[in-house]
Amino acid sequence: MFLGERGWLVVELLAALKKYFGFTDFRPGQREVIEAVQAGNNVLAVMPTGQGKSLCYQLPALMSSGVTVVVSPLVALMKDQVDSLRTRNLHQATTLNSQISREEQVKRLNGIRRGEHKLIYVAPERLRNHSFNELLLGLPLELLVVDEAHCISQWGHDFRPDYLNLGEFMRQLSKQPRVLALTATATPRVQEDILQQLGIPDAVRVVASSDRPNLQLAVRQLTDSQAKLVLLEDLFTVKEGSGIIYAATRRDTEMVAHHLTTRLNLRAAAYHAGMAPEQRSTVQEAFINGAITVVVATNAFGMGIDKQDIRFVIHFSLPACLEAYYQEVGRAGRDGKPAQCLLLYNAQDRALQEWMINNDSLTREHLVIFWQAYARGLQNHRAVINTAELVAAGLDENRLRLVVGALERHGVLSLSERNAGMLELVSGAKEMVPGVAQAVLLESQRRLNERRNKLATLVNWVHTSRCRRRMLLAYFGEKIRQTPPSCCDNCFRAGIGVETTSHEPLEILRCVQQLPREVGRKKLTAILRGTKEKSLIERDYHLLPAFGKIKNRSGKALLAMVDRLL
């Protein structure tokens, strides 16, 4: 039987899959990505969390005679993947990151020089290190993997300025490697931006369906954080298995974890960036091994964590956008079995996210703080800046990254080195180039508006009475193929495939039209229910034709309808 070139490639891939990983077949999307890479193409792969993206570059790396560099944003992800490979007696992988001792880094660098490692995991900032780049120039670099590729897009949900250096790094290479960009969540607009930023507009795209039918999606709207804690108590009287609870702040992670351990005797722990690296590593290992059943964490936890049996993901706080939400709930049910995804919401959650968005924007004052420090340290076209001084002056670490990234994109300066609290910058400019400051501020404002729009879209999704899965997939440019038995809370209430109709939304809008002045949500609800409150009577609201038009609804149900209309 004549197989043809592609047929023999499939046979070869299956043989390698069995040899290195012991698997007999690929998961959906994996083979398509690997075939495209092996055929010499640049590739953008959008695959849902839990689909096995790491194998899409690990297998080509192990089959290759050259070197593969994996750019990844998280130390935990790198360590977990290298450890996982070593458990399979695959010792060709290593990682370089800031948490490794100087002696160990030298040892690993020497191993790379001797050709002992075919798979090298690095953080994006490592590619700014001149000595490391010179080392790579002497290696047969065949594949550059950009993991969590949405981080390179300002329109993505987790933009990281250090990723923008990837384009400059690739331009330094005498021979261009193939590029494989991977992400779990990217709208069509973000996909285009990833390809543009990486300079691979003609890359092969493999976009797998992001639908996870085994995940049941639900939202509960509550009055405050205390009501959320009460609901958690009710849930954990019946809920079994391990899971993740996401919270927006470090304080909330510790508060919820303390509540679970002291009130419910659960094996729970907090996880956030304020903890020491060894503490975070201990919590992570305990969760993977089952010593801890619930981790209460900020949004970084879970990326690259290979735990198949997570039975629930609960959002104690509102995430920043639908991309973040879907990536986080995607960590549940990787074994294909049913898993619960519950988002707890109150109005204060949106205010917190809006505050976080505003706190992440750049102002003229931030540019002045940076430029003054830069000008003071500028000698012979180089400037060395103490980052602690910038933080003390009001320019925090995240905004500093945004400023440096923006000025690099406009060609004002370039970041040469970043070590232990110091920045070394290269530039010939003594004064800010005319118009650049304004351009940087305009970029920041556009990004601010984009994040606000994403937050508004998420809040609309929270309040919808339609199928949550259908809306979520539509956001990512997909259509639902088959409605699963346990789809979402709205489908469960309405009955699968049943559309509900009501005259009540029109009554609410008529009431708004009749109002002589603006009122708040709760007062509008009281008018519609015909509540005989003194404040309503004094202002003649009881004389409105809409007064008492929706008496049969509870205040809570009617308020939810008002929120959906908003």
72 within 8 A of 123, measured Cβ to Cβ? yes
Rg (CA), the chain: 26
Cβ contacts of 351 within 8 Å, gap of 6 or more: none
154 within 8 A of 17, measured Cβ to Cβ? no
Q: Mind listing the pLDDT tens digit of every residue in the chain (566 residues)?
A: 444 556 667 788 999 999 999 999 998 889 999 999 999 999 999 998 778 899 999 999 999 989 999 999 877 778 778 888 888 888 889 998 877 888 998 999 999 999 899 999 998 888 877 788 888 888 999 999 999 999 898 777 778 878 888 887 888 887 889 999 999 888 888 999 999 999 999 999 999 888 888 999 999 989 899 999 999 998 887 777 899 999 999 999 999 999 999 999 999 999 998 888 788 888 988 998 899 999 999 986 765 566 889 999 999 999 999 999 998 998 999 888 999 999 999 989 999 999 989 888 899 999 999 988 888 888 888 888 888 888 899 998 888 888 888 888 787 887 776 666 777 777 756 566 778 889 999 989 998 999 999 999 999 999 988 899 999 999 988 888 777 777 899 988 765 444 445 788 899 999 999 999 999 989 999 999 999 888 899 899 999 999 999 988 888 888 888 887 88
Q: How many helices and strands in the chain, by DSSP H and E?
A: 23, 17
Q: How distant, in Å, are the alpha carbons of 21, 26, 176, 477 from that of 15? A: 10, 11, 28, 35
Name residue, tokens 């995940």: 215
304 within 8 A of 331, measured Cβ to Cβ? no
Indicate whether this model's pTM tops 0.85.
Answer: no
pLDDT of residue 219: 95
Nearest to 513 by CA among 473, 565, 450: 565
SS3 30: helix
Q: How distant, in Å, are the alpha carbons of 63, 301, 402 from that of 45? A: 20, 22, 27
Nearest to 76 by CA among 273, 312, 345, 258: 273
pLDDT of residue 495: 56
Pairing of strands 378-379, 382-386: antiparallel
b/e code 475-513 from CB counts within 10 Å (16+ = b): bbeeebeeebebbbbbbeeeeeeeeeeeebeeebeebbe
Axis crossing angle, helix 322-329 with helix 436-463, rounded to the nearest 10: 60
Pull the structure tokens for residue 178. 């193939």
57 within 8 A of 73, measured Cβ to Cβ? no
Enumerate the H helices of 345-500 as residue ranges. 347-358, 364-377, 387-393, 397-409, 436-463, 468-475, 489-494
CA dist., res. 399 & res. 411, Å (int): 18
Pull the structure tokens for residue 59. 């297998």
